[in-house]
Amino acid sequence: MFVFAVPWILLLLPLPLLTWFLLPTIKTAQNQALHAPFLRYMKELMADHAFSLRAYARHYSLAALLWICLVVAAAGPQWLGKPMDIARSGRNIMLAVDISGSMQLTDMTLNGQELSRFNAVQLIAKQFIQKRKGDRIGLILFGSKAYLQTPLTFDRDTVINRLEDSSVGLAGQLTALGDGIALAVKHLKDLPENNRVLIVLTDGVSNSGQFSPLDAATLAQNYHIKIYSIGFGADQLLVPGALGLRNVNPSADLDETTLQLMATKTGGQYFRAKSMASLDQIYNQINQLEPIAQDRVNYRPETALYPWPLAVAFFIAFALLLRRTWPPLKEWCKTFFIKGAR
């Protein structure tokens, strides 16, 4: 469907005609105060290239087309696509993911192949993000420092791409869990209440940053931000030793007590994920705890078309200028170079 964003501007189309008929004719004074010695020469050049009646009509036709293109461009022509229904729940979900050095540990398996913890998170979190149609999703990564990787957006593909582009150790080897939560609070606190959700995933204990996890959780509580915390990592791993393989707990440093207190303080829940399957189940549980609303918003994609008439107007203006100035300019150049050669 073709529409104009500001259709009333089209009322300006007859303005040149109204100006032509309504404004009084300008009378040229007979006595000129400024004497131009080259004026007679220019008049002679112009007389040699005077417009014929047909050229005169063509000139004003181009001028009229130029005005029409400018007015049409100013009216904002646009093409509206087919209406689309978009589920819109209004939730604002921030994902805070640990990318400290311990996330490089390969204690996850997929189809018999070993994966690092972070690679496992990338695969499972990608599925979670894809399911949250209608929600705004953001991404925070934290190691020794915390930083915003993707602001809250409806563009889920962008969030997925930024998560896939991330790597362990990008923000340092330590774990600034409190700073990650505080940064999430900063970006969620001004949004509507009851729609602020923070999902935190870590595999260790907070040992860096300016904020302690519980102080940051108190900030989240004050702004009614619900925290779902996930402790991630296997509890058994076979490693080579002096007497052969031995069984160790790679998640011995996981601070589950703090993660539980954070979730309880803000009205959320704590989950323990020991494998990719359990992590997937946890994200599915969060989907059920924070269901996607069935309300739908009608949306029609808009494509701006004003550059096209604007480009036509530009080329017409250039053609009129060139047509008006080229004959005398050409003669002047010939005269100038002939005199110079002599």
CA distance 214 to 221: 10
Give the range of the structural domain holding residue 327, as residue numbers without chain letter. 1-17+51-83+300-342
Residue 25's pLDDT is 66
Give 267's pLDDT tier (boundaries 50, 70, 90): very high
Into how many domains does the chain fold? 2
**For 75-101, what is the mean pLDDT?**
81
CA-wise closest residue to 134 among 70, 86, 68:
86
Same domain, 73 and 93: no
CA distance 121 to 109: 12
Same domain, 261 and 291: yes
Give 242's pLDDT tier (boundaries 50, 70, 90): low
Same domain, 318 and 250: no
Q: Is 217 a domain residue?
A: yes
Same domain, 204 and 239: yes
Same domain, 221 and 190: yes
Q: b/e per residue, 208-241, with b = 16+ CB within 10 A? A: bbebbbeebbbbbbeeebbbbbbbbbbeebeeee
For residue 262 the two structure tokens come to 């954070």
Give 51's pLDDT tier (boundaries 50, 70, 90): very low
Q: Is 106 a domain residue?
A: yes
Q: Quick check: pTM over 0.85?
A: no
pLDDT in tens, 136-177: 999 999 999 999 999 999 899 999 999 999 989 888 889 999
